Amino acid sequence: MSTTFLPCGVYHQTYAQDHAWWQTPFIKAKMLALALILFVVIPMFADMYWISVCNQIGYTILGALGVQLLIGFCGQLTLGHAAFIAVGAYTSTLLILEFPWPTFMIDWGIAYPVSILVAAVVSGLWSVLFGLPSARVKGFYLILSTMAAQFITVDFIITQYVSQIGGRGQAFSLPPGTIKMGPWVIDSDVKVYYMILFFIIVCVTVMANLLRSRVGRAWVAIRDNDISAEVMGINVLKYKLLAYFVAGFIAGIAGACWISNLAAISPEHFPWFWSLWLVGVILIGGIGSIHGAIFGALFMVLVMEILQMIVMPLSDIYPKLLMDFLFIKEATFGLAICVFLIFEPNGLAYRWWQIKNYFNLWPFSY
Amino acid sequence: MDLFLMTIATGIMVGGIYALVALGWVLIYKCSGVLNLAMGEMTLIGAYTSLSFYSMGVPFLLALAISLVIGFILGILTERIFLDKLIGEPVLTVIMVTVGLSFFFKGTIGFIWGTDTRVFNPPVFSMEPVRFGPIVVGSVYLWSFIAAMILLVIFVCFFKYTRWGLAMQATADDEMAALSIGVSARFVYAAAWSIAFMASGVGGTLLGNINGLNISVGYLGLLVLPAVVLGGLNSVPGAIVGGITIGILQNLCGTYLDRYFPGGVKEIAPFVFMTIFLLFKPHGLWGWERIERV
């Protein structure tokens, strides 16, 4: 997907201008309006239910960003991303619960931010470990090895061993008040919303900047053709592993953020389904753009909520519908992926790009 | 020693079923180049269909035959509706469509048949174990293995001697050449999908006879992947050897390693092997190593 066309009369004189993020006053105003909506309008006017839907969307965006980086920008297919999110979530939880924090750190609320950072790094390293097969295999074989990552990490290591730490049994519950960001105790959905929003902005900024740097260009070269990339002098393995690290890092942040929204975490929160879901999200949103991850997350979560709204009234007549809602959700998800891949393989981001161009070039769109 | 022999025997028997399902997988890959992740759900569909008919009082073999017919129809429909439009698309697209299909099937199965475990009632095979000298094997396992082997022979003969089988092999070898001598590629793809549906249906039915049937039997579809990786993605004998090897390895790990790593070693072992195998011999025992040209 090439860049968006600019309106008539806007042209660049330097390379820096060409790569600037917000190139016209209109775009700046648009982004400001978006920030206003995200930071002020939604928390003020949305009720509890919609805030929690927003949190769900935010979590999906954070998870999908890493997948987008791996699949969309580096061409490394992955079907085990939930494993890295799980590693992040568990590292953060264990640090909060088990690590002997000095009292002043807990009082100042440094424990949780530090644990997020540590979780992100651990998750990134774990991701690099399972990215090692990418040195030798690609395509379908890589899918298999990332799948193995999912089963080994979540179904075996976390379920059998990590869950036993501290003798809590299956689920780790986080006592209220332990999750503290500086002076704020993260105890309501609105606070979780702000926190996730903050991390999304940080992650998107970092990722977008990486993508327009040397690293990002190397990734895209590897995606387009890894052999040519190697011939051009790119250290393919190094950049592949770097992609795995960054993707795992973002996944770790996603997992560590999400624990603030959960009363207790258990391996069931990170099933293989969730890995596939994230891949589905970027397929529907569009592969190879950050917009794709965001649109895909919005679309999938909202469609599922709408589906629930349709099913709820019907369940009075036919109660089986509500009981088996999970299955309806799965079937819809599967069908949505199939339909998008067959009829709109470029995803929602491509439509968005077309719409933008249409208005930018209007009325002379040739 | 007896324990060892028995573990191996059980492994071979279970491996026979894996081999059967793996065969269906390899078939699809060989003919159309589709890497199918919906195998587990295809297994479930066949198994649930035959179980439903069996519970209605239809004799077992007839129920199996009906499920085969339904599998055949579903295979053609799946290919026509979803996969036909994707010939020539990138590999991720096709894989993700099969993932989508697997969710679609799973959701539908769950909605129709629910989550409870169902058993074949009355049991199809007798509960009496069969003895070979020191080795004791459940008769269900033995019959499953025999059935799997018979089907394998049928498949191999089908590919070697019948017109359709030869057409499918030709398409797998070189689609363009096959088209130019008058083989209908679309027909071959549809046939591959319906045969895969039928093979996995039989596998599922046999497996359902062992421990009953619930939605987690679809996990079998994932166990097929280590088997095909071991044997090589496009090799029919590879699928059989891979399936049986995975069965044996899995049972050996279950017997001997469970002491040291309590919990789900048996479920995880095939994937660990697969990862190690991928690192050292990614193209499997008999798979074709594709030479890449830029």
3-state SS track over chain B: CHHHHHHHHHHHHHHHHHHHHHHHHHHHHHHHCCCCCCHHHHHHHHHHHHHHHHHCCCCHHHHHHHHHHHHHHHHHHHHHHHHHHHCCCCHHHHHHHHHHHHHHHHHHHHHHHCCCCECCCCCCCCCCCEEECCEEECHHHHHHHHHHHHHHHHHHHHHHHCHHHHHHHHHHHCHHHHHHCCCCHHHHHHHHHHHHHHHHHHHHHHHHHHHCECHHHHHHHHHHHHHHHHHCCCCHHHHHHHHHHHHHHHHHHHHHCCCCCCCCHHHHHHHHHHHHHHHHCCCCCCCCCCCCCC
A139 touches chain B (CB under 8 A): yes
Encode pLDDT of B158-201 as tens digits. Answer: 878 888 888 887 887 777 888 888 888 888 888 888 888 888 88
For residues A148 and A83, the answer to whether their CB atoms sit within 8 Å is no
For chain B, what is the domain count? 1
| % of chain A residues with pLDDT over 90 | 33
Q: Which domain holds residue B128?
A: 2-280
CA distance A167 to chain B (A): 16
Q: Return mean pLDDT, chain A.
A: 86
- Select the residue of A159, A283, A342 nearest B82 (Cβ to Cβ): A342
CA distance A133 to chain B (A): 6
* Predicted local distance difference test score (pLDDT) of residue A178: 74
Lowest-pLDDT range of A41-50, A332-341, B121-130, B201-210 = B121-130
Residue A267 exposed, middle or buried by CB count within 10 Å (0-12, 13-18, 19+): buried
Establish whether the linkage from the previous residue to A345 is cis, with ω within 30° of 0.
Answer: no
Q: Which of B39, B228, B275, B290 to mutate to test the interface with A (most CBs of A within 10 A)?
A: B275
What residue has token string 């979540």?
A154
Assembly ipTM = 0.82
- Select the residue of A71, A328, A338 nearest B101 (Cβ to Cβ): A338
B271/A327 Cβ within 8 A: no
A158 touches chain B (CB under 8 A): no
> Which residue from B minimizes the CA distance to A150?
B271
* Predicted local distance difference test score (pLDDT) of residue A119: 94
What residue has token string 């750190």?
A105
For residues A74 and A248, the answer to whether their CB atoms sit within 8 Å is no
d(CA A59, CA A53): 10
Nearest-CA neighbor of A243 among A152, A347, A350, A146? A146
For residues A282 and A64, the answer to whether their CB atoms sit within 8 Å is yes
* Predicted local distance difference test score (pLDDT) of residue B290: 66
How many Cα neighbours within 13 Å face the side chain of A5?
15
Encode pLDDT of A12-66 as tens digits. Answer: 888 888 878 888 888 889 899 999 999 988 888 888 889 999 999 999 999 999 9
Instruction: Examine the pLDDT at A247 and tell me if it is beyond 60.
Output: yes
Q: Return mean pLDDT, chain B.
A: 82
Residue A307 exposed, middle or buried by CB count within 10 Å (0-12, 13-18, 19+): middle
Q: Which of A141, A272, A284, A323 to mutate to test the interface with B (most CBs of B within 10 A)?
A: A141
Does B62 reside within a domain?
Answer: yes
A155/B267 Cβ within 8 A: yes
A169 touches chain B (CB under 8 A): no
Locate the domains of chain A by residue range: 23-361
A227 touches chain B (CB under 8 A): yes
Note every long-range contact of A203-212, with CB atoms under 8 Å and residues 24 or more positions apart, other chains counting.
A203/A62, A203/A65, A203/A250, A203/A253, A204/A65, A204/A290, A207/A65, A207/A69, A207/A246, A207/A250, A207/A290, A208/A21, A208/A290, A210/A246, A211/A73, A211/A290, A212/A19
Kindly state the tokens that stand for A18: 């060409």
Average pLDDT over residues B199-214: 82
Instruction: Examine the pLDDT at A132 and tell me if it is beyond 90.
Output: no
| % of chain A residues with pLDDT over 70 | 97
For residues A196 and A182, the answer to whether their CB atoms sit within 8 Å is no
Nearest-CA neighbor of B112 among A328, A185, A216? A328
d(CA A366, CA B22): 53
CATH no. of A23-361: 1.10.3470
Lowest-pLDDT range of A137-151, A157-171, A184-198, A267-281 = A157-171
Residues in B whose CB is inside 8 Å of some CB of A read 35, 82, 85-86, 89, 91-93, 95-97, 99-111, 114, 222, 225, 229, 233, 261-265, 267-268, 271-272, 274-275, 278-279, 282, 292, 294
CATH number at residue B49: 1.10.3470
A331/B272 Cβ within 8 A: no
Q: Which of A70, A77, A138, A151 to mutate to test the interface with B (most CBs of B within 10 A)?
A: A151
CA distance B126 to chain A (A): 34
Instruction: Examine the pLDDT at A1 and tell me if it is beyond 50.
Output: no
Q: Rg for chain B (alpha carbons), in Å?
A: 19
B111/A331 Cβ within 8 A: yes
How many Cα neighbours within 13 Å face the side chain of A275?
28
Average pLDDT over residues A251-265: 88
Encode pLDDT of B60-88 as tens digits. Answer: 889 889 999 999 999 999 888 888 787 76
Sorted by sequence, the CB contacts under 8 Å of residue A281 that are 6+ apart come out as A60, A63, A64, A67, A293, A296, A297, A299, A300
Instruction: Examine the pLDDT at B224 and tell me if it is beyond 50.
Output: yes
- Select the residue of A148, A227, A326 nearest B271 (Cβ to Cβ): A148
* Predicted local distance difference test score (pLDDT) of residue B225: 86
Looking at the DSSP assignment, which residues form a beta bridge with residue A181? Answer: A184
* Predicted local distance difference test score (pLDDT) of residue B125: 73
- Select the residue of B89, B111, B275 nearest A328 (Cβ to Cβ): B111
For residues B91 and B34, the answer to whether their CB atoms sit within 8 Å is no
d(CA A25, CA B42): 55
Residues of B in contact with A143 (CB under 8 A): 35, 95
| % of chain B residues with pLDDT over 70 | 95
Kindly state the tokens that stand for B294: 């830029």
Encode pLDDT of B20-55 as tens digits. Answer: 888 888 888 877 777 888 888 888 888 899 888 888
Establish whether the linkage from the previous residue to A183 is cis, with ω within 30° of 0.
Answer: no
Does B100 reside within a domain?
Answer: yes
Residue A316 exposed, middle or buried by CB count within 10 Å (0-12, 13-18, 19+): exposed
B222/A141 Cβ within 8 A: no
A334/B99 Cβ within 8 A: yes
A148/B99 Cβ within 8 A: no
Does B293 reside within a domain?
Answer: no
Lowest-pLDDT range of A246-250, B185-189, B263-267 = B263-267
pLDDT band at B263 (very low <50, low <70, confident <90, very high): low
Kindly state the tokens that stand for A179: 């999750």
A137/B278 Cβ within 8 A: yes
Nearest-CA neighbor of B101 among B80, B83, B76, B113? B83
Nearest-CA neighbor of A79 among A9, A42, A130? A130
> Which residue from B minimizes the CA distance to A279?
B96
Residues of B in contact with A136 (CB under 8 A): 278-279, 282
Does B127 reside within a domain?
Answer: yes
A334/B100 Cβ within 8 A: yes
> Which residue from B minimizes the CA distance to A227?
B294
For residues A285 and A348, the answer to whether their CB atoms sit within 8 Å is yes
A143/B229 Cβ within 8 A: no
Residues of A in contact with B268 (CB under 8 A): 151-152, 155-156
Amino acid at B75: G
Residues of B in contact with A337 (CB under 8 A): 96-97, 99-100, 103
Which three-class secondary structure string do you get for chain A?
A: CCCCCCCCCCCCCCHHHHCCCCCCHHHHHHHHHHHHHHHHHHHHHCCHHHHHHHHHHHHHHHHHHHHHHHHHHCCCCCCCHHHHHHHHHHHHHHHHHHCCCCHHHHHCCCHHHHHHHHHHHHHHHHHHHHHHHHHCCCCHHHHHHHHHHHHHHHHHHHHHHHHHHHHCCCCEECCCCCCEECCEECCCHHHHHHHHHHHHHHHHHHHHHHHCCHHHHHHHHHHHCHHHHHHCCCCHHHHHHHHHHHHHHHHHHHHHHHHHHCCEECHHHCCHHHHHHHHHHHHHHCCCCHHHHHHHHHHHHHHHHHHHHHHHHHCCCCCHHHHCHHHHHHHHHHHHHHHHHHHCCCHHHHHHHHHHHHHHHCCCCC
B97/A337 Cβ within 8 A: yes
pLDDT band at A97 (very low <50, low <70, confident <90, very high): confident
- Select the residue of A133, A144, A324 nearest B225 (Cβ to Cβ): A144
Encode pLDDT of B122-167 as tens digits. Answer: 777 766 777 777 777 777 778 778 877 887 788 778 878 888 888 8
Residues of A in contact with B276 (CB under 8 A): none
Does B285 reside within a domain?
Answer: no
d(CA A342, CA B81): 10
B106/A228 Cβ within 8 A: no
